[in-house]
A = this chain, B = another copy of it.
Amino acid sequence: MASDLYSQLVHSAPGSFLAKQLGIPQPETLRRYKPGDQPLAGTLLIGGEGRLVEPLRAALAEDYDVVSDNLGGRWADSFGGLVYDATGITGPAGLKGLYKFFTPLLRNLGPSGRIVVIGTTPEEAGSGHERIAQRALEGFTRSLGKEMRRGATVNLVYVSPDAKPAATGLESTMRFLLSGKSAYVDGQVFRIGADDASPPADWDRPLDGKVAIVTGAARGIGATIAEVFSRDGAKVICIDVEGAQEALGVTATKVGGTALALDVTADDAVDRITEHVREHYDGRVDILVNNAGITRDKLLANMDEGRWDSVVAVNLVAPLALAEGLVNNGVLGEGGRVVGLSSMAGIAGNRGQTNYAATKAGMIGLTDTLSEAYADKGITVNAVAPGFIETKMTEAIPLATREVGRRLNSLYQGGKPVDVAETIAYFASPASNAVTGNTVRVCGQAWLGA
């Protein structure tokens, strides 16, 4: 499933030829998050002249070595991160600020360096010229992502102009993007709303005391999500089908959570989950991760009804039923988090996956729809779309073709299940209160897309 996107190239004869030549550039060993590590491997330069630059410096000053534009001789240093607040750009001519800030600095960014550009949500910009310039940031950051080497990532964060200047809603996103948790998140656009957010007592345990449901938790990415949630302090209800009960038990034990063997497409799925939550967790959960999903690939011309029906039932109908059911019966309430798994096939389409891609595009629709519907309940809804993630499934792909799949991105390597899980944990954090309606790819800025 994680590799769906690449089957087009991977199954083509040229793939193996391409693969042989893809040793250059060498992929960097990405810096990934370990509790207790420095939040950034080097100095953090925060520049620009927008409304968020000072609040951001203040918010991050305690945990980061923050410097401002005025560095004197220190530009010879190796920076861990470069952040540019572009919210002050009010028209096309102002885009020059990006050039002036970044060009002299780029050679001084260290390995696994972090570049973040902060803009104003274009559709909410104060003038037409501002909106156009803010929209232009996307072309800039996506290009810069394709220029950077040595594991550096470049992301764009749009912040609502209605957000309070204290930048509390922005902080969880900035900490995520600067950290090793976002090692494989590159070339993406995040949208932050106007809501405030409170920092957790401990940024290393942001989910302390939270209860999370993870479907498809027996193995693979689902099991990793459960582990990351547990590391971050959450209690996890691990759900998977009867047939996976043994592996499910292993996951649940590992994370100190509970196991619930359940087909998410069953009519009584919401009732059985609710019962489980009442029995073990006082009737209340904070997080729902709709991770369970299946593929039943076939060209549409050859597809049988069963393939269509089962994929739609598991990947789209069930996630929707679970989210609506648990919100409607009050199990998931104020402060709740819903996170879904979309896919690059849902964005770009994929040969042999009309059924799967429809459900994964539908997951984007679910995210758009429920994020709006649940906004006044204080529930956020987001999704991740994984790219080439190294799993048991991708291990089965022949070496040469696997090489193609994993190299066709700006980091020249596949991601790990933990990269997907970290992104989901960021969405699930109470500190991400202002982050809703996002579908973000975890793909190393894969070159394939729409």
Residues of A within 8 A of B (CB): 8-9, 12-14, 17-22, 24, 92-93, 95-96, 98-99, 102-103, 106-107, 122-123, 128-129, 131-147, 187, 299-301, 303, 305, 308-309, 312, 316-317, 320, 345-362, 364-366, 368-370, 373, 447-450
Are A365 and B147 also in contact (CB < 8 A) when A17-B21, A359-B136 are? no
Q: Which residues of B contact A301 (CB under 8 A)?
A: 103, 106-107, 147
Q: Which residues of B contact A364 (CB under 8 A)?
A: 135
> Contact: A320 with B145, CB < 8 Å?
no
Tell me, in angstroms, the Cα distance from A243 to B213 when the chains sit together: 66
Tell me, in angstroms, the Cα distance from A357 to B140 when the chains sit together: 6
> Contact: B133 with A362, CB < 8 Å?
yes
> Contact: A349 with B142, CB < 8 Å?
yes
Are A122 and B365 also in contact (CB < 8 A) when A95-B358, A320-B92 are? yes
> Contact: A143 with B312, CB < 8 Å?
no
Q: Which residues of B contact A102 (CB under 8 A)?
A: 300
> Contact: A14 with B13, CB < 8 Å?
no
Tell me, in angstroms, the Cα distance from A21 to B13 when the chains sit together: 7
Tell me, in angstroms, the Cα distance from A299 to B145 when the chains sit together: 11
Minimum CB–CB distance from A186 to chain B (whole Å) comes to 11
Minimum CB–CB distance from A100 to chain B (whole Å) comes to 9
**A136 in complex: contacting residue of B20, B123, B353, B361, CB < 8 Å:** B361
Q: Which residues of B contact A128 (CB under 8 A)?
A: 369-370, 373
**A450 in complex: contacting residue of B103, B136, B187, CB < 8 Å:** B187
Q: Which residues of B contact A95 (CB under 8 A)?
A: 312, 358, 362
Tell me, in angstroms, the Cα distance from A138 to B346 when the chains sit together: 8
Q: Which residues of B contact A92 (CB under 8 A)?
A: 312, 316-317, 320, 359, 362
Are A93 and B135 also in contact (CB < 8 A) when A140-B354, A352-B147 are? no
Minimum CB–CB distance from A355 to chain B (whole Å) comes to 8
Please name the residue on chain B nearest to A353 by beta carbon. Answer: B143
Minimum CB–CB distance from A399 to chain B (whole Å) comes to 16
Please name the 9 residue pairs, one residue from A and one from B, whose CB atoms are nearest each other, closest first: A142-B349, A135-B365, A139-B361, A449-B449, A136-B362, A139-B357, A14-B21, A143-B349, A17-B17
Q: Which residues of B contact A316 (CB under 8 A)?
A: 92, 132, 136
Minimum CB–CB distance from A366 to chain B (whole Å) comes to 5
Minimum CB–CB distance from A199 to chain B (whole Å) comes to 32
Q: Which residues of B contact A136 (CB under 8 A)?
A: 316, 358-359, 361-362, 365
Greatest chain B CB density within 10 A among A14, A308, A449 is at: A14
Tell me, in angstroms, the Cα distance from A136 to B363 when the chains sit together: 8
Tell me, in angstroms, the Cα distance from A131 to B362 when the chains sit together: 9
> Contact: B17 with A13, CB < 8 Å?
no
Q: Which residues of B contact A366 (CB under 8 A)?
A: 132
Minimum CB–CB distance from A213 to chain B (whole Å) comes to 20
Q: Which residues of B contact A346 (CB under 8 A)?
A: 139
> Contact: A8 with B359, CB < 8 Å?
no
> Contact: B132 with A369, CB < 8 Å?
yes
Please name the residue on chain B nearest to A343 by beta carbon. Answer: B139
**A132 in complex: contacting residue of B103, B122, B351, B362, CB < 8 Å:** B362
> Contact: A143 with B354, CB < 8 Å?
yes
> Contact: A300 with B354, CB < 8 Å?
no
Please name the residue on chain B nearest to A448 by beta carbon. Answer: B447
> Contact: B103 with A8, CB < 8 Å?
no
**A448 in complex: contacting residue of B123, B317, B365, B448, CB < 8 Å:** B448
A-B contact pairs, 8 of them (CB 8 A): A8-B146, A14-B22, A135-B369, A136-B361, A136-B365, A142-B348, A142-B361, A143-B356
Q: 9 new A-B pairs (CB below 8 Å) besides A140-B354, A141-B349? A: A8-B146, A95-B358, A99-B308, A129-B320, A137-B361, A138-B349, A139-B358, A147-B299, A447-B448
> Contact: B139 with A449, CB < 8 Å?
no
Are A142 and B357 also in contact (CB < 8 A) when A135-B365, A448-B448 are? yes
Tell me, in angstroms, the Cα distance from A447 to B446 when the chains sit together: 11
Q: Which residues of B contact A143 (CB under 8 A)?
A: 300, 345, 349-354, 356-358
> Contact: B348 with A449, CB < 8 Å?
yes
